[in-house]
Amino acid sequence: MLTSDFDFDLPPASIAQEPAPRGESRLLVLDRTGPERHARVRDLPRLLRPGDLLVLNDTRVIPARLYGRSAGGGKMEILLIEPVGEREWDALVKPGRRARPGARFEIGEELTAEVVDKREDGRYRLRFSEPVEPHLERLGHIPLPPYIHRPEAPEDRERYQTVYASRPGAVAAPTAGVHFTGELLREIEGAGIEIARVTLHVGIGTFKPVSAERIEEHRMERERYEIGEETAGAIRHAREAGRRIVAVGTTVVRTLEGAALAGGGEVRTGSGSTDLFITPGFRFQVVDALLTNFHLPRSTLLMLVSAFAGRERVLAAYEEAAREGYRFYSYGDAMLLQRR
């Protein structure tokens, strides 16, 4: 298929710059058949079914954006991607012309970073003067997506997180989960819906555009995941009983479907990484329903949603959402897609 098959026009005013109160975002419900329905995220306890298994991603966004100065005094921006040792990280660095191997940057008063290597994929290997993690809460900034055109606000540090975020390591939020409050999750459990958690540390692939003309030529970034014994057991029991598995976000879909592919159809306990690229024609083995935000045109996330619910149906729903004033992208509204 062509990347252009997943393009659509969206007025800039439709891109959410601020989050709505948790639970209050609009929700477009798209069933396998029948017309779209309009609701609110707070309606999920009655929209889901007793016996459903709702799976959350409990990763926590780290303050991965650092600002420093080069030896010549120029401003530098560093986006941490993944640790590769006690003091080394893969990162993106701007401007690249000041980031040649051997270059050093000062970050704050007591932390420095040296460029060890530059890779062909645009990543840099940085070696810090000491472990960087203890400095992140003080020196780091939350890496808001590039389509949020405003400075970071203090409240973004917690608002660009899920209320259940507990495993630090992501550089982007699993944004379908940011709609939930603790009270809403308790209401969902009170409606007879089981909740389980996985961890997938969202990486820069979330922002990576598909530049290839044909989607088959695109390669996903690997992301680390972990599935605990309790969650693997809950998924196994739900599938055996014929109960639905509802993924909160595309990251959960990639975790569960990637694990099923690796496990011969079974979601097993363990950790690993996945570069699974889900496009139309993919055979879903685990997920029956999906809660997700509205995604960028020509993005891998839109391709995943199209694989789940049908490209033409999804794009038509996006058009209706835009007409109805829904808010798009990370801080925007949501969809509930149900295959059965």
Domains of the chain: 3-61+156-338 (3.40.1780.10), 65-139 (2.40.10.240)
Query: How do residues 272-312 score in pLDDT, each as one tens digit?
Result: 999 999 999 999 999 999 999 999 999 999 999 999 999 99
Of the chain, the end-to-end C-alpha distance in Å amounts to 26
pLDDT band at 119 (very low <50, low <70, confident <90, very high): confident
Single pTM value for the model: 0.94
What confidence score (pLDDT) does residue 141 get?
95
Does the pLDDT at position 340 exceed 90? no
Query: How do residues 212-262 score in pLDDT, each as one tens digit?
Result: 999 999 999 899 999 999 999 999 999 999 999 999 999 999 999 999 999
What strands lie across the sheet with 53-57, from one edge to the other? 37-40, 26-30, 334-338, 289-293, 245-248, 53-57, 194-200, 223-227, 270-274
